Chain A
Amino acid sequence: MMQRRTRATGAGGFRAAVLATLAALSMAAASLPAAAEEPLKIGFGMAETGPLAGTGKSALLAMTIWAEDVNAKGGLLGRQVKLIHYDDQSNPANVPALYAKLIDLDKVDLIISGYATPIIASTIPIAMQHDMVLMGFFGLANNAKFKYDKYFGIFPAGEKPALAIMQPFFDAAMTLNPKPKTVAAVYPEMEFGQSIKNGVKTAAAAAGLQTVYDQGFPPSMTDLTTVVRQIQATNPDIVAIGTQPGQSIAIVRAINEVGLKAKIVGGGMTGLQTTDAEGLLGEQLNGFVNFNIWLPAPKMQYPGVMDFVKRYQERAKAAGVDPIGYYAAPWAYAELQVLGQAVEATKSTAGDKLGPYIHATTFKTIIGDVKFGESGEWAQPRMLAAQFQNVKGNDIEQFKGTDKVVVVSPAEYKSGELLSFEDARR
């Protein structure tokens, strides 16, 4: 009995193994595409599922609009632009294979990154391997370790991103009267949180503030009321928060429930800039001062941006993405503008021509002038701090204007005055 089973497994089993391998290889072969064609192909992975998908899909729509705009004007270098993208599932482990397919098999001419720091971190080595220019979308200090001369980050945070995010917040805080003396820092135990923690430390030291609370929490923690109470127990003047979208919502709710009292609250809370969060939290947002990268404030209406936003908003609802789109969409469009302009100017898609050109040029895009420093990040940071004021109810239309999300810092972009946290919540 045993022997027969063994023999059966032996012969039939080996056959099965060979068949399986052949099947696998042929399936892999089936995914090889036809020979390269005319269009100018731009390849990338983007988060269409997973935690990063909210922003990822919004960015994707903006990029699609850019490709259509460019093609309507004749394309790049006389060729129609084609975007080839795959879902990286918000998981950096998927990046290597995905880009290998894009570069080796789909034979794309240019690559750009997916969304967020960990994804970009896995993409840079691939760009380095192939000596290609890489535009990085919304990454914090990705190039610090790699020092790749063909990486360019589209995020107005510059070389010290955590500091750049928190600086306008602290600048605004120090305009309060009387001056704040103490600061509490709270952030999730993840890479983003650590950056924020360091940014707060630097900014607080520069402003001469004393840190009374500095702790992380597990990213999966859903109920943050206990954490907020701990913060309250230390009675800080400033509460500096760095959170990712789900946690941002949780902590705003927790702060409301606990009734946190402080002079100024906010800082680096991602996700609050999107319509989802704004609609969900409504009045609970009043008083929060959060970082922002672009708002339709009077001093920020660069040529082309309001038109783009309008066209984006028309298609957003159908595409199931952020309907207002002030956060990611204009930047995704601008990212491709930079790349497209560089390609046209150098008449090439080669990394060693594009790289030096992009380093040397100031680009005009729908989000204003873009100039890169030596590290590939923005030469000059341009982060904003904006306060939610006078939000009533949960209607999302009110967030389209500039009177509920008021830019309070830096001074050159201000559209209103900072209120203390308690005043704003009366």
Chain B
Amino acid sequence: MTNWRFVAAAAGFAAIVFGIAAWLNIDYLFFAGYVVLQYVVLASAWNILGGYTGYMNLGVSAFFALGAYTTVALEIAWKLPLPATIPAAAIVSGLVGIGMGYLTLRLKGIFFAIATLALAVVTETFITNWDYVGGSSGAYLLHPKRGPWFGSYIEYLFLLMLIVAAVAVVVARAVERSWLGYGFTAIRDDETAAEATGVPTLRLKLIATGLSGALMGMAGAPLPYYVSFLEPASTFNLSYAVNTIAMAMIGGTTTWLGPLIGAVLLATVQQVATVTISSEINLMVVGVLLVGFAMLAPNGIVGLLRRRPRP
């Protein structure tokens, strides 16, 4: 399916989802759905760097939180609304991503992962000490009761996140099928060989880190309005990284479909578990699924579903 047809299909699918949700008009579905969509973006974004290129980013929360704090800063400075701050967040997190790419040029594997963790700690410390956005006291972002056109405000947030999620999936798929995707795969399989055959690894890695970071920033941009009170401690929580990675791996890291399936499935299970059984089970579920899939289905759900090519 060519890119433009896929974009149309994705837009159509998103419209259907939104139509059903709007018709049901249950706020809870919007709230829970927002979180699921947020993880679709995070998982798809992570997978560009992690699944396609083979570089494991543990500092997911840094890019996510930077997106959220961009919204806060722009709201305080110029009262910019969300449709403006989402692209701004993409730029900020994207630039930081490229910066991280430069810093970690010669790092591979676990060394790269630890560097991303270090980056997350440094970013958190900076934000905690930056009083303009509230620092450690946190920032209050009050939102109106209704959305700008119709429905409740959370319906509006849900719609925005749905659009961002569609964009993320479209981008992931487009990247996968383009020369970028082939380049990334070459880097993942054998970086030295790729360099030797003339693949522009430096440029590709920077594109990967930048793109991945930008999308994660977009996932974080609406968060301040969702929680109304943003503070560094919970925004930089390691569980964002863990959940994101789990979702991508469980779904399958080789293709755009994996993170989508993984995020929808795991995030939904988590939301349901929170309001039914208990939330200790939440963590346990992620753990058991991770272990199970890692052992038994290393290519994730996509790997299980994919029909084997006939011999």
CB interface residues, B 285-310, toward A, < 8 Å: 301-302, 305-307, 309
Q: In the complex, A188→B275 CA distance in Å?
A: 32
**A11 to nearest B CB, angstroms?**
9
**B121 to nearest A CB, angstroms?**
10
Q: Are A100 and B231 in contact (CB under 8 A)?
A: no
Interface pick from B28-36, B79-87, B89-97: B28-36
Q: In the complex, A383→B32 CA distance in Å?
A: 39
Q: Are B227 and A20 in contact (CB under 8 A)?
A: no
A177 within 8 A of B: no
Encode A1-21 as 1/0 by CB contact (under 8 A) with B. Answer: 100110011101100110011
Encode B174-199 as 1/0 by CB contact (under 8 A) with A. Answer: 00000000000000000000000000
User: Which of A13, A24, A129, A195 is the one whose CB lies under 8 Å from B302?
Assistant: A13
* Chain A minimum-CB-distance residue to B38: A93
CB interface residues, B 8-55, toward A, < 8 Å: 17, 20, 26-32, 34-36
Q: In the complex, A124→B143 CA distance in Å?
A: 12
CB interface residues, B 69-85, toward A, < 8 Å: none
A83 within 8 A of B: no
User: Which of B129, B271, B305 is the one whose CB lies under 8 Å from A12?
Assistant: B305
Could you say which residues of chain A place their CB within 8 Å of the CB of B30?
Answer: 100
**B89 to nearest A CB, angstroms?**
17
Q: Are B257 and A28 in contact (CB under 8 A)?
A: no
B202 within 8 A of A: no
Q: In the complex, A218→B153 CA distance in Å?
A: 35
User: Which of B36, B125, B276, B307 is the one whose CB lies under 8 Å from A24?
Assistant: B36
Could you say which residues of chain A place their CB within 8 Å of the CB of B99?
Answer: none
Identify 27 residue pairs between A and B in the complex whose beta-carbon atoms are under 8 Å apart, listed by A's number: A4-B309, A8-B306, A8-B307, A8-B309, A9-B257, A10-B1, A16-B302, A20-B265, A24-B36, A28-B271, A28-B272, A48-B279, A87-B274, A87-B278, A89-B274, A93-B227, A97-B32, A100-B28, A103-B28, A104-B27, A118-B231, A118-B234, A121-B228, A125-B228, A145-B142, A189-B128, A189-B135
**A201 to nearest B CB, angstroms?**
14
A416 within 8 A of B: no
A94 within 8 A of B: yes
Q: Are B226 and A96 in contact (CB under 8 A)?
A: yes
Q: Are A122 and B229 in contact (CB under 8 A)?
A: yes
User: Which of B26, B234, B260, B309 is the one whose CB lies under 8 Å from A91?
Assistant: B234
Given pairs A93-B226, A189-B135, A218-B128, 19 additional interface contacts (CB within 8 A): A4-B309, A13-B255, A16-B261, A16-B301, A20-B260, A21-B264, A28-B268, A48-B278, A89-B274, A91-B234, A92-B234, A96-B226, A97-B28, A104-B26, A122-B227, A122-B229, A125-B228, A189-B136, A191-B136
B269 within 8 A of A: yes
Q: In the complex, A100→B309 CA distance in Å?
A: 46
B156 within 8 A of A: no
Q: In the complex, A216→B27 CA distance in Å?
A: 40
User: Which of B34, B275, B279 is the one whose CB lies under 8 Å from A31?
Assistant: B275
Could you say which residues of chain A place their CB within 8 Å of the CB of B154?
Answer: 96, 100
Could you say which residues of chain B place their CB within 8 Å of the CB of A1?
Answer: 309
Q: In the complex, A25→B25 CA distance in Å?
A: 14
CB interface residues, B 209-228, toward A, < 8 Å: 223, 226-228
Q: Are A194 and B137 in contact (CB under 8 A)?
A: yes
Could you say which residues of chain A place their CB within 8 Å of the CB of B302?
Answer: 9, 13, 16
Could you say which residues of chain A place their CB within 8 Å of the CB of B31?
Answer: 96-97, 100-101
Q: Are B279 and A9 in contact (CB under 8 A)?
A: no
Instruction: Name the interface size band of chain B.
Output: 35 or more
**A246 to nearest B CB, angstroms?**
13
Instruction: Name the interface size band of chain A.
Output: 35 or more
Binding site for A on B (CB under 8 A): 1, 17, 20, 26-32, 34-36, 125, 128-129, 135-138, 140, 142-143, 145, 152-154, 223, 226-229, 231, 233-235, 237, 255, 257, 260-261, 264-265, 268-269, 271-272, 274-276, 278-280, 282, 301-302, 305-307, 309
Q: In the complex, A190→B138 CA distance in Å?
A: 8
Could you say which residues of chain A place their CB within 8 Å of the CB of B231?
Answer: 92, 118, 190-191
Q: Are B227 and A96 in contact (CB under 8 A)?
A: yes
**A193 to nearest B CB, angstroms?**
6
Q: Are A193 and B136 in contact (CB under 8 A)?
A: yes
Point out which of A4, A193, A194 has the most chain B C-beta atoms below 10 A from its C-beta.
A194
User: Which of B125, B261, B272 is the one whose CB lies under 8 Å from A27?
Assistant: B272
Q: Are B305 and A13 in contact (CB under 8 A)?
A: yes
Q: Are A216 and B271 in contact (CB under 8 A)?
A: no
Q: In the complex, A118→B140 CA distance in Å?
A: 10
Could you say which residues of chain A place their CB within 8 Å of the CB of B28?
Answer: 97, 100-101, 103-105
Point out which of B31, B32, B272 has the most chain A C-beta atoms below 10 A from its C-beta.
B31
* Chain B minimum-CB-distance residue to A11: B307
Encode A138-173 as 1/0 by CB contact (under 8 A) with B. Answer: 000000011000000000000000000000000000
**B52 to nearest A CB, angstroms?**
14
A61 within 8 A of B: no
Could you say which residues of chain A place their CB within 8 Å of the CB of B234?
Answer: 91-93, 118
Q: In the complex, A181→B257 CA distance in Å?
A: 67
User: Which of B129, B143, B237, B269 is the one whose CB lies under 8 Å from A125?
Assistant: B143
**A198 to nearest B CB, angstroms?**
9
Could you say which residues of chain A place their CB within 8 Å of the CB of B235?
Answer: 93
Point out which of A48, A189, A193 has the most chain B C-beta atoms below 10 A from its C-beta.
A189
Q: Are B143 and A9 in contact (CB under 8 A)?
A: no
**A254 to nearest B CB, angstroms?**
21
Q: In the complex, A398→B157 CA distance in Å?
A: 54
Q: In the complex, A86→B126 CA distance in Å?
A: 34
Could you say which residues of chain B place their CB within 8 Å of the CB of A124?
Answer: 228
Could you say which residues of chain A place their CB within 8 Å of the CB of B264?
Answer: 20-21, 24
Could you say which residues of chain B place their CB within 8 Å of the CB of A118?
Answer: 138, 229, 231, 234
Could you say which residues of chain A place their CB within 8 Å of the CB of B1?
Answer: 10
A95 within 8 A of B: yes
Q: Are A95 and B274 in contact (CB under 8 A)?
A: no
**A297 to nearest B CB, angstroms?**
33
